[in-house]
Structure 1
Amino acid sequence: MRIKSIALLLAAMLLFFTAAGSEEFWPITATDDLGRPVNITSAPERIISLAPSNTEILFALGLEDNVVGVTKYCNYPPEVESLEKSGKIAVIGGYVDPDVEKILSLKPDLVLASDISINNTIPSLEKVGVLTYVVESKNLSGILTSIKKVGIITGKKAEADVLADEMESRIKAVSDRSEALQKKRVLYIVWHDPVKTVGTGSFEDEIIELAGGTNIFHDLSGYPQVDPEAIAVRNPEVIITCTGMGEGVDLPFQWAKTDRSLNLTDARNNDQIYQAEGDIITRAGPRIVDGLEMFFRFIHPEAS
């Protein structure tokens, strides 16, 4: 059922393309993920990305030669760093606080933003005529749709179709395999002090379900804080921790492996505690399917 809904949404996304023609026929009017109509007169040649996920989409579509600016958190693919060092790509600041003056100095004809910029950066850019397009996916089907949208507005429709179809096929392969297996109770730990997990409405919650698990905090929403005692009561069979930042990269994993509050959980007793790279599982880009396949291996190692 979920895979059918993904296919239906991919078909429905064609409604966003309101002008006659395709990527070869300009101008077009495209509706971004906030429902804003964006008029694009020609294929963009100088693109700035205000989110790591957008950068990953652009590079996956073969647009690395068109990207002139990224945030300091855009660290994938590896070519980004080498292009920064060579001066072909500039760093325009952070994800939350990009440098508008720096962006303007790069003379972009398209800025791919996220909804975090809607109240500050985007108005500042649009005030001086810079074209902005918001990409903000909320689930896996939304990611596939966004990739196809970006493909159309950048003149890379064929490449985007191939990428989205490949991702959809891999998602279906995992879903088909997991449907034949008994679901396991899963806890995903975003951070350990205090303990933050995931609930409905998060990428991780959907991925846990597709990978053959049941999120023990599915009844909560977003990224809630929970007590260790509540974890013990719900008794996860599998615990997956997110990598931390900087020197704390392994802290959530070490907490899950050693904290006394989890001593009686099935996950601890059966040594089913794993660490997942946060960038892969939280970014709304092509690597989200890598995250799904990784979760399947963690949740069902017996079938991997």
Structure 2
Amino acid sequence: MKTYTDQIGNTITLAATPMRIVSLVPSQTELLFDLGLEDRLVGITKFCMHPYHLKSTKKIIGGTKKVHVEKIRLLQPDIIIANKEENTEEIVEAMKEIAPVWVSNIVTIEDNIEMIEELGKIFAVRTSARQWIDKINFGLEDFKKFISDKEVKRAAYFIWKNPYMVAGNDTFVNELLKLNKLSNIYQANEGRYPEVIVQKMKIQGDPQVLLLSSEPFPFKDEDAFELGRHTHHAQTIFVDGEMFSWYGSRLVKAFPYFKQLRDRLVND
């Protein structure tokens, strides 16, 4: 018997290395695949898009906010992987009736590395976990050198429309904005993803850059035009939301993406 503590302080006890995994988190599904655990994955969500072929080879057990409990029960998982932000507390509690549930809570890159290290222990793939951690650390140090001489720019990162919502403080997105030397004008607002009145952008921070995420809302050109009208000529850029909000192994791909993004910023 081995005992593990997840990232929200819950303790799980496992009699053996888990061989049947249900993942309720798209980015962590990608990580589990990259750790070499494809054969052990038995259930994933409909939003687990990477790698794409998993959608045809694994059981789809619903979404991240609404799962089919009976489908998961029939899969007889040894462990269920969840996330504090992606999944509701009610889902996590319901899953505990089926199998041990390990919950991640990712706000910083350090949290992300801790998660990979812990999953490496749980699934007995420490070497693979260490390789991915080394890749992330190498990419991080390389990007810090790249960004070191760039100026800080005021930014707003939009995730939703009707109402307009942005990434605020205490989020992984905000941490990556800071890494990119993009100062989030809404990080002092209450809530992690606050609703905002875009007509007040000029007086609430006057961003130089507007980032329109590809997920969860599909922003269009007319949205960029509308938002831009409420700034002093801010540069508006459509960004890959997965690069800013997916943790796990995705960070290895995010660093080169961030370099390309920075090269698109005018007057840098």
TM-score (norm 1): 0.78
Aligned partner of 1:256 among 224, 245, 248: 224
In 2, Cα distance between the equivalents of 1:173 and 1:157?
24
Stretches of 4+ aligned residues off by more than 6 angstroms: none
The 8 Å contact of residues 72 and 92 in structure 1, kept in 2 or not, is answered as yes
More deviation in 167-176 or 289-298? Answer: 289-298
Secondary structure at the counterpart of residue 190 of structure 1: strand
Q: CA deviation at 1:152?
A: 0.8
Query: Deviations along 1:193-214, whole A, 9 cap, x unmatched?
Result: 3221122211221111111221
Partner of 2:238: 275
1:265 paired residue among 226, 232, 255: 232
Q: In structure 1, what is the equivalent of residue 69 of structure 2?
A: 100
In structure 1, the gaps of 5 or more residues are: 1-26, 84-88
Q: Write the distance in 1 (CA, Å) between the matches of 2:175 and 2:94.
A: 35
- Out of 191, 200, 210, the residue aligned to residue 160 of structure 2 is 191
What's the counterpart of residue 13 of structure 2?
39
Q: Secondary structure at the match of 1:286?
A: helix
Which of 185, 193, 196 lines up with 1:226 in the alignment? 196
Cα contact 1:200–1:219 (8 A) shared by 2: yes
Amino acid at match of 1:275: F
Please give the residue correspondences for 1:27-176 in structure 2 after superposition, counting only pairs within 5 Å. Answer: 27-83=1-57, 89-115=58-84, 117=87, 119-128=89-98, 130-176=99-145
Structure 1 pair 45–244 and aligned structure 2 pair: CA distance change class (3 A):
closer
Q: Is the 8 A contact 1:243 1:275 kept in 2?
A: yes
Deviation at 1:260, TM superposition (A): 6.4
Contact 2:198 2:227 in 1 (8 A): no
The Cα shift of 1:254 comes to: 3.2
The aligned residue for residue 19 of structure 1 is none
Deviation at 1:219, TM superposition (A): 1.9
Displacement of 1:258 in angstroms is 4.3
Deviations along 1:106-129, one digit per CA (max 9) or x if unpaired, are 11111112236564334334335x
CA distance in 2, matches of 1:296, 1:217: 23
Q: Distance in 2 between matches of 1:101 and 1:72?
A: 16
Q: Which consecutive residues of structure 2, in runs of 5 or more, have no partner in the other structure?
A: none
Aligned residue for 2:19, secondary structure, equals coil
Rounded to whole Å, the distance in 2 between the matches of 1:117 and 1:258 is 32
TM-score (norm. length: structure 2):
0.88
> Per-residue deviation at 1:37?
1.7
| 1: CA distance, partners of 2:249 / 2:264 | 23
Q: Which has the larger radius of gyration?
A: 1
Matched, 1:240 2:211: yes
Native 8 Å contact 1:187 1:239 kept in 2 = yes
Q: CA RMSD in A?
A: 2.4
The residue identity in structure 2 corresponding to 1:127 is E
1:52–1:76 CA contact under 8 A, matched in 2 = yes
SS at match of 2:167: coil
Report how far residue 281 of structure 1 moved.
2.0
Amino acid at match of 1:168: N
- Alignment partners' CA distance in 1, 2:26 and 2:137: 21
2:201 alignment partner AA? I
What SS does the corresponding residue of 2:39 show, helix, strand or coil? coil
Structure (1/2) with the larger helix percentage: 1
Determine if contact 2:168/2:186 at 8 Å carries over to the other structure: yes
The corresponding residue for 1:202 is 171
Measured against aligned partners, the alpha-carbon deviations of 1:212-234 in whole angstroms (never above 9, x if no partner) come to: 22112222241112222322233
- Structure 1 residue 244, shift from structure 2 partner: 4.8
